[in-house]
Amino acid sequence: MPHIDWPLRNGRPCVQVILTLAQGGQPMVRHLLADTGAGSLLSGFEFILDEDDCLLSGGNPLQPITLGGAYTGSFPVYLVPVQVPQ
């Protein structure tokens, strides 16, 4: 995979992703804040998105995950198709 320099937004690294709407509507562009200390290669999730975005893009629900760090509690998990333009 080629090296990519991600842009800064408000002084923080971010990643642009594109979510495709399940109903065939316009794709949704989201700018996600990159948290390089969020977890290991074996972490249980890769992106944190708004649940409405997951549902609008036809995300398939998986088993909820329990977090115990900065965010604590049980959270829903969705398998969502995501495009990374870079």
Tell me the backbone φ, ψ of residue 46, rounded to 5 degrees.
Answer: -120, -35
Please tell me the predicted confidence (pLDDT) of residue 37: 62
Tell me phi and psi for residue 6, to 5 degrees: -85, 140
pLDDT in tens, 24-54: 778 889 988 876 665 666 665 577 889 999 9
pTM of structure: 0.71
* Residues 67-79: tens digit of each pLDDT: 887 778 999 999 9
Runs of H (alpha helix) within the chain: 51-56
| Residue 72 CA: distances (Å) to CA of 54, 66, 69 | 20, 7, 6
